[in-house]
Chains A and B, each alone.
Chain A
Amino acid sequence: MAITDVPAFAHLTDSDIESLAVELDAIRQDIEDSRGERDSRYIRRTIAAQRALEVVGRLMLAASSKRSAWWAGTVTLGVAKIIENMEIGHNVMHGQWDWMNDPEIHSTTWEWDMSGASKHWRFTHNFMHHKYTNILGMDDDVGYGLLRVTRDDKWKPFNLGNLFYNTMLALGFEWGVGLQHLELGRMFKGRDDRDATMVRLREFSAKAGRQLAKDYVAWPAVTSLSPGATFSSTLKANAVANVIRNVWANAVIFCGHFPDGAEKFTKTDMAGETKGEWYLRQMLGSANFEGGPALRFMSGNLCHQIEHHLYPDLPSSRLHEISVRVRQVCDKYDLPYTTGSFLVQYGKTWRTIAKLSLPDKYLRDTADNAPETRSERMFTELEPSQRRGLKSAIAAARARRREKRVARRDLAA
């Protein structure tokens, strides 16, 4: 079962964890002290460019009836929506730009271009997901109550559809995100506070209604006035643009916590958790992917998921330089730093989801030492000499398991 004791799992003493916290705090302080004109220009230009791109996409859709123009407009609009949601919306709502004191680019005022309400996202994401990251039963982002993404969850026949549900979730991701806070599961079981649910339902419907009216009524109607477009051509283009955004956002977010090596935790990890232990949990529970400037930008800098989880409110544009220092800290404390290429990381999330659609008897690994979840019990068989730090210990445990398998195979032969 998932990690129940973070310090024991991490092979660190209390004083190690304390100094780890001091080092990570120092990085935060350096970044906060050096925020300035350059950062503020970056976000203002990003916002301006995104809005211009959106207008260009809409114009292309209105201007020409050529198939190529339709695709160009649709993809442009999809890209604009991705940038709005990821590099701008998600990060602004995290308060990454609150320090500028600009009421138009502020966590308390930003409403984003998707069906879910910002207010609900700030609860489910900023609070629940970022505070209780990967804690089973607390962080609903672990499977969204729909997917089995760790064998810590008991298998149910429902899980046979894992691959299908994930495909559906990816295609309609904005609706998954938007409905998350309504906690439909609880609502149908009657385990919710009905008044609070009704308030949320009203807030959600108002936001979603405006979004639907914009993409599927107002814009198609406006562009149908142009000889180059029809109501239905724009409607279809907007739907496809939304799906492009949904699939990409889903992929990036899944790469953050579901590739191999992103750990899961139990509620006991939170008992009296210090800041250092919280930092540790964020590092162990997140995974990065590697990419150039374009991929970084298009992922809203969430390819630096580890750094984002350590410092959710520091500007996204600085995460790349932060990552260099965080890697050094990981090396110093012999901690793993989970990363890989985007396709490999994304492939691993699908692999896990595919595997976990099966009952446990078809799975080789136990929940104490599986790709998607481990616990401190995986180290019980190791000699003390093999346990310098977590990264070495994981390598030792892996080597030992390989030896055992070879021995068993030899025996069978």
Chain B
Amino acid sequence: MALPWLKRRTYGTVGYVSRTGASRMGNAILKLGQELSLGKKYSSSRPAAVLTDTKRPKVAGAGKHRGWDAARALAERITTPLLPDDYLKLANPLWSARELRGRVLEVRRETEDSATLVIKPGWGFSFDYQPGQYIGIGVLVDGRWRWRSYSLTSSPVTSARIITITVKAMPEGFLSTHLVGGVAPGTVVRLAAPQGEFVMPDPAPASVLFITAGSGITPVMSMLRTLARRDQITDVVHLHSAPTESDVIFATELAELERSHDGYRVRMRSTRTEGRLDLARLDDELPDWRERQAWACGPEGMLNDAVRVWHAAGIDERLHLERFAVSKAAAHGEGGSVQFARSGKTLAVDGATPLMDAGESVGIQMPFGCRMGICQSCVVPLLDGHVRDLRTGAEHEPGTRIQTCISAASGDCVLDV
């Protein structure tokens, strides 16, 4: 069995290159290493490698309270190389700010295929998020932490100390189905800090239009709850579509909101009987839509239509969008466009070329060691997209860390190098 990746040689002249400042030397060393073929000379040469530093744990919420930081620094003297959190979390999983964690308090069924997860975050979680933002949530399934992003549906109230996300089970969505049907109260999940630009400012604009469909209502629900709490519902029109009436998430709460607030009007559309909302004919629904700040969230097609309509009207800046993109692995053996995030380079790579080789071919200093998949020197985070293990064919999903020497692109992907 001829394995080209195994045969590549890396006899360089130095044993070790530190990561910083390595880019200059790196390529020269690499080239030299490849040129020094076997049999010629290697008596005094040492194999080269470029290692990344061991990533030290970050403490969420550090730097906010000087007293706590000092106590922590002192405690770390006796827990090094670990953090005090690493011991405390044995007593209570939420007593750790090393990784954001949360405990699922309740799973509340909203519709037949959607549910709201009420989560109590642990140490380090900051409740000053903005309505409309999403969080990453990591769930342990079959021994692996799997990550997805979901919009927060709760309103940022510091005193509440809980957050909620609402999840719709997608037919092909493995994790969403698990979250809706398989998570027991008490389960500990991992969290990533809230983020996203699809937010409602404070104070809110005088007139607002929400266009949502299906689970696209989730970020808007957080905005509505926040607007209601801040008493800022002056003139809000909400066009919401769902396949049938029983598929409408938060139906009761929306109806209650309409009853109690004169400034809030919601128009439900059952697409199975009434057909989809035609944004080109928005004037029929709402003549003054051009004057409103609009927030739209829903299926890709609807959002693309919205972009077109608002662009034609010359008011792109009044439209705010949230796309729920799900990246999928490409068909077996297909490559894709690989983006190296830190170096800002992008190139097309086939499905058989190791990502390490791809990066090196355009002059990026990739971390490397054995080049045969055993030493873990080359492990980097996969920010987006999928890659495939060339040895076993196993697919790796976004949010994992991958060995670039034995992984190839499986569709478009983004590496943190």
Given the contacts A95-B376, A112-B81, A273-B7, A38 and B143 also touching, CB distance less than 8 Å? yes
A55 adjacent to B392 (CB under 8 Å): no
Q: With a CB–CB cut-off of 8 A, which chain B residues contact A107?
A: 376, 379
Q: With a CB–CB cut-off of 8 A, which chain A residues contact B17?
A: 196
Residue A109 is within 8 A (CB to CB) of chain B in the complex:
yes
B1 nearest CB neighbor, chain A only: A18
Q: What mask results when residues 390 to 402 of chain B are scored 1 for a CB within 8 Å of chain A, else 0?
A: 0110100001110
Closest CB-CB distance, B42 to chain A, in whole Å?
A: 6
Closest CB-CB distance, A357 to chain B, in whole Å?
A: 26
Given the contacts A52-B90, A131-B372, A270 and B81 also touching, CB distance less than 8 Å? no
Closest CB-CB distance, A239 to chain B, in whole Å?
A: 16
Separation of A241 and B3 alpha carbons in the complex (Å): 46
Tell which of B143, B370, B377, B401 has the most Cβ of chain A within 10 Å: B143
Tell which of A101, A138, A200 has the most Cβ of chain B within 10 Å: A101
Q: Quick one: which of A194-228 are within 8 Å of B by CB?
A: 196, 199-200, 207, 210-211, 213-214, 218-219, 222
- Of the candidates A98, A104, A126, which one forms a contact with B401 in the assembled complex, judged by CB atoms under 8 Å apart? A98
A25 nearest CB neighbor, chain B only: B391
B81 adjacent to A111 (CB under 8 Å): yes
B55 adjacent to A108 (CB under 8 Å): yes
B2 adjacent to A127 (CB under 8 Å): no
Given the contacts A110-B54, A196-B17, A32 and B78 also touching, CB distance less than 8 Å? no
Q: With a CB–CB cut-off of 8 A, which chain B residues contact A110?
A: 54
Residue A130 is within 8 A (CB to CB) of chain B in the complex:
yes
A29 nearest CB neighbor, chain B only: B392
Residue A128 is within 8 A (CB to CB) of chain B in the complex:
yes
Number of A-B contacts (CB under 8 A): 173
Residue B16 is within 8 A (CB to CB) of chain A in the complex:
yes
Q: With a CB–CB cut-off of 8 A, which chain B residues contact A270?
A: 38
The stretch of A116-124, A244-252, A318-326, A333-341 in contact with B is A116-124
A183 adjacent to B15 (CB under 8 Å): yes
A95 adjacent to B379 (CB under 8 Å): yes
Interface size range of chain B in the complex: 35 or more
B78 adjacent to A119 (CB under 8 Å): no
Q: Quick one: which of B365-393 are within 8 Å of A by CB?
A: 369-370, 372-377, 379, 391-392
B143 adjacent to A131 (CB under 8 Å): no
Q: Interface of chain A, helix or strand or loop or mixed?
A: helix
Closest CB-CB distance, A215 to chain B, in whole Å?
A: 10
Q: Interface of chain B, helix or strand or loop or mixed?
A: loop
B392 adjacent to A32 (CB under 8 Å): yes
- Of the candidates A18, A29, A101, A113, which one forms a contact with B81 in the assembled complex, judged by CB atoms under 8 Å apart? A113
Separation of A128 and B377 alpha carbons in the complex (Å): 11
A132 nearest CB neighbor, chain B only: B47
Residue A28 is within 8 A (CB to CB) of chain B in the complex:
yes
Interface size range of chain A in the complex: 35 or more
Given the contacts A98-B401, A123-B369, A219-B78, A41 and B16 also touching, CB distance less than 8 Å? no
Closest CB-CB distance, A393 to chain B, in whole Å?
A: 25
B44 nearest CB neighbor, chain A only: A191
Given the contacts A51-B90, A108-B401, A122 and B14 also touching, CB distance less than 8 Å? no
Separation of A270 and B98 alpha carbons in the complex (Å): 43
A196 adjacent to B1 (CB under 8 Å): no
B47 adjacent to A130 (CB under 8 Å): no
A41 adjacent to B143 (CB under 8 Å): yes
Closest CB-CB distance, B379 to chain A, in whole Å?
A: 5
Q: With a CB–CB cut-off of 8 A, which chain A residues contact B379?
A: 95, 98, 107-108
The stretch of A64-72, A274-282, A369-377 in contact with B is A274-282
Closest CB-CB distance, A398 to chain B, in whole Å?
A: 33
Separation of A267 and B140 alpha carbons in the complex (Å): 45
A110 nearest CB neighbor, chain B only: B54
Residue A383 is within 8 A (CB to CB) of chain B in the complex:
no
B7 nearest CB neighbor, chain A only: A272
B144 adjacent to A40 (CB under 8 Å): yes
Q: What mask results when residues 49 to 61 of chain B are scored 1 for a CB within 8 Å of chain A, else 0?
A: 1011111110000
Residue B110 is within 8 A (CB to CB) of chain A in the complex:
no
Q: With a CB–CB cut-off of 8 A, which chain A residues contact B377?
A: 122-123, 126-127
Residue B265 is within 8 A (CB to CB) of chain A in the complex:
no
Given the contacts A39-B143, A275-B3, A138 and B47 also touching, CB distance less than 8 Å? yes
A35 nearest CB neighbor, chain B only: B143
Q: With a CB–CB cut-off of 8 A, which chain B residues contact A22?
A: 1
Separation of A267 and B81 alpha carbons in the complex (Å): 38
B77 adjacent to A214 (CB under 8 Å): yes
A218 adjacent to B77 (CB under 8 Å): yes
Q: Quick one: which of A28-54 are within 8 Å of B by CB?
A: 28-29, 32, 35-41, 48, 51-52
B376 adjacent to A94 (CB under 8 Å): yes
Q: With a CB–CB cut-off of 8 A, which chain B residues contact A55?
A: 87
B372 adjacent to A271 (CB under 8 Å): no
Tell which of B42, B99, B377 has the most Cβ of chain A within 10 Å: B377
Residue B80 is within 8 A (CB to CB) of chain A in the complex:
yes
Residue B282 is within 8 A (CB to CB) of chain A in the complex:
no
Residue A181 is within 8 A (CB to CB) of chain B in the complex:
yes
- Of the candidates B6, B53, B143, B400, which one forms a contact with A37 in the assembled complex, judged by CB atoms under 8 Å apart? B143
Closest CB-CB distance, B401 to chain A, in whole Å?
A: 6
B99 adjacent to A104 (CB under 8 Å): yes
Pairs of residues from A and B, 5 with the lowest C-beta to C-beta distance, nearest first: A40-B143, A111-B81, A126-B375, A127-B369, A127-B375
- The chain A residues found within 8 Å of chain B, CB to CB, are 18, 21-22, 25, 28-29, 32, 35-41, 48, 51-52, 55, 93-95, 98-104, 106-113, 117-119, 122-123, 126-128, 130-132, 137-138, 181, 183, 191, 193, 196, 199-200, 207, 210-211, 213-214, 218-219, 222, 267-268, 270-276, 278, 312-313
A-B contact pairs, 18 of them (CB 8 A): A32-B394, A38-B143, A51-B86, A51-B90, A95-B376, A103-B99, A108-B379, A122-B51, A123-B369, A127-B375, A127-B377, A130-B374, A137-B43, A193-B15, A207-B81, A214-B79, A271-B38, A271-B39
Q: A118-B54, A131-B47 known; 19 other A-B pairs, CB under 8 Å?
A: A28-B391, A36-B142, A95-B376, A98-B379, A98-B401, A101-B401, A106-B401, A107-B376, A108-B55, A122-B54, A127-B375, A130-B370, A131-B369, A131-B372, A193-B14, A200-B16, A210-B80, A210-B81, A214-B77
- The chain B residues found within 8 Å of chain A, CB to CB, are 1-3, 6-7, 14-18, 38-39, 42-44, 47, 49, 51-57, 77-82, 86-87, 90, 98-99, 140, 142-147, 369-370, 372-377, 379, 391-392, 394, 399-401, 403
